[in-house]
């Protein structure tokens, strides 16, 4: 599969012309995201602190009047069609299910579905912990709403996207990815309370940059381990007699330790301490304290590695190497874990040599060529029409 970089609206229009002839009526762009801190807290009703990145999933679409949805995936070089007027049927494990899942979620809401031709293409690497799936869901939902001539708020987009992924695709993800992909803003990070869905934008500290370091490893363990961690968190809740781990304090956890296995205790300790770290990180941004933010990222990695046990050799190697560079204020694994990416906060003054330094040492250590990007936060999902 080709890996695209820096897709523009002109690429989308050209892909549409090549495939279907003529121009799309509109195009949609939704960025992926990187989570700065707050990992595995979203499905526990806790806090997360992601920002959008300058890589996106795009669709260019044109209405058709027979109720059919025909989508050509440029990344997969594959075209699939379904009839939106007939009962939607699930298939196994293919990219088209994310779009059908969104159609289903809209149907469940009583929204009308109208047909269209579309090209789909993205430069968010898939399965790298950068939320390509959520970007694709928000893009699909915006396409449906534009064709159907109704508006969906950012929060509605997030809920529908999560519903599609949970109930149609079958991944028990939390609400973070879809929320940031829909609501992110240029140059800002978004603190989200995943229980109330309240959210607040923050400027990144002055003089810093965010780097995403893709280890280019994907372990097949990831999906099953994710669901297992989710269950262990629920087990901790049962032992503590609470509905969500966000309600637990460290005191409650230590007092209730006798009622749970050691493994469950460590899982819960990660979630509880991570929630505290995110709130402290928000304070750090309020006071423009980049050093503190970086330290909290380092602690988060420790907790994910030893308490939650979702890191792996490559992620640990990347974190260690990144931290050795003079510009690095903090680094941690980001996303679900077991491969994927590391996020690092850098001081821009000395960041010029960071990518080369890390790339060389990571290759020496693992024999793999990493993908390193300095990221800029871009606006969340948007529709643009021909002018
Ligand atoms: P991520 O961490 O990137 O969200 P997921 O496993 O949740 O990883 O989602 C990746 C899946 O999303 C891919 O396997 C594919 O089905 C779908 N996807 C993402 N981006 C695209 C794209 N540009 N074109 C087609 N499918 C995509
Ligand atoms: Mg995903």
* pLDDT tens string 312-371: 999 999 999 999 999 999 999 999 999 999 999 999 999 999 999 999 999 999 999 999
Nearest CA to ligand 1 atom 4: 131
For the Cβ of 12 lying below 6 angstroms from any atom of ligand 1, the answer is no
Residue 169 pLDDT: 93
pLDDT of residue 223: 77
Q: Are the C-beta atoms of residues 54 and 130 closer than 8 Å to each other?
A: no
Smallest CA separation from ligand 1 atom 18, residue = 133
CB distance 121 to 74 below 8 Å? yes
Closest Cα to atom 12 of ligand 1: 133
Geometric angle at alpha carbon 190, from 186 and 196, rounded to 5°: 140
- Tell me the CA–centroid distance for residue 385 and ligand 2, in Å: 27
Q: Using DSSP bridges, classify how beta strands 208-218 and 371-375 pair: parallel, antiparallel or unpaired.
A: antiparallel
Catalytically active residues are 177
Instruction: Tell how far the Cα of 343 is from the centroid of ligand 2, in angstroms.
Output: 17
* CA-only gyration radius of the chain, Å: 21
CA 122 – ligand 1 centroid, Å: 9
Residues with Cβ within 8 Å of 276's Cβ and at least 6 positions away in sequence, in order, are: none
Return all residues near 199 (Cβ < 8 A) that are at least 6 apart: 179, 183, 190, 191, 192, 193
Token digits of residue 256: 């209730």
Look at residue 2 in the predicted model and tell me its pLDDT.
43
Q: What is the pLDDT along the chain (387 residues), one digit of tens a residue?
A: 444 568 999 999 999 999 999 999 999 999 999 999 999 999 999 999 999 999 999 999 999 999 999 999 999 999 999 999 999 999 876 899 999 999 999 999 999 999 999 999 999 989 888 999 999 999 999 999 999 999 999 999 999 999 999 999 988 888 999 999 999 999 999 999 999 999 999 999 999 999 999 999 988 777 788 889 999 999 999 999 999 999 999 999 999 999 999 999 999 999 999 999 999 999 999 999 999 999 999 999 999 999 999 999 999 999 999 999 999 999 999 999 999 999 999 999 999 999 999 999 999 999 999 999 998 899 999 999 987
Ligand 1 atom at minimum distance from 95 CA: 16
pTM of the model: 0.92
């Amino acid at each position: 599969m080709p890996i695209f970089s820096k897709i523009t609206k002109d690429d989308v229009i050209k892909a549409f012309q090549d495939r279907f002839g003529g121009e799309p009526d509109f195009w949609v762009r939704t960025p992926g995201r990187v989570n700065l801190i707050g990992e595995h807290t979203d499905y526990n009703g806790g806090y997360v602190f992601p920002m959008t990145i300058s890589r996106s999933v795009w669709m260019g679409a044109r209405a058709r009047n027979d109720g059919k949805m025909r989508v050509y995936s440029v990344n997969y070089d594959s075209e699939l069609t379904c009839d939106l007027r007939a009962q939607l049927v699930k298939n196994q494990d293919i990219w088209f299910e994310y779009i059908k899942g969104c159609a289903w979620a809209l149907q469940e809401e009583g929204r009308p579905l109208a047909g269209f031709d579309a090209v789909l293409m993205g430069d968010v690497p898939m399965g790298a912990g950068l939320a390509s799936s959520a970007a694709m869901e928000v893009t699909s939902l915006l396409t449906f709403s534009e064709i159907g001539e109704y508006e969906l708020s950012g929060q509605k987009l997030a809920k529908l996207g999560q519903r599609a992924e949970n109930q149609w695709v079958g991944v028990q993800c939390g609400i973070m990815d879809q929320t940031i992909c829909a609501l992110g803003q240029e140059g800002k990070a978004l603190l989200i309370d995943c229980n109330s869905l309240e959210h607040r934008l923050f400027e990144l500290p002055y003089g810093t940059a965010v780097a995403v370091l893709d280890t280019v490893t994907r372990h097949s363990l990831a999906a099953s381990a994710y669901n297992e961690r989710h269950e262990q968190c629920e087990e901790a809740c049962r032992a503590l007699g609470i509905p969500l781990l966000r309600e637990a304090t460290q005191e409650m956890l230590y007092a209730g330790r006798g009622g749970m296995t050691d493994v469950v205790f460590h899982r819960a300790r990660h979630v509880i301490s991570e929630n505290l770290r995110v709130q402290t990180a928000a304070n750090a941004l309020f006071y423009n304290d980049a050093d503190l933010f970086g330290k909290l990222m380092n602690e988060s990695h420790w907790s994910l590695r030893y308490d939650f046990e979702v890191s792996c050799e490559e992620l640990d190697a990347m974190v260690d190497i990144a931290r050795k560079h003079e510009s690095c204020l903090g680094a941690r694994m980001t996303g679900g874990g077991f491969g994927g990416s590391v996020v690092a906060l850098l001081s821009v003054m000395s960041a010029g040599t960071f990518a080369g330094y890390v790339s060389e040492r990571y290759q020496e250590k693992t024999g793999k060529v990493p993908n390193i990007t300095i990221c800029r936060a871009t606006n969340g999902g948007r529709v643009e029409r021909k002018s």
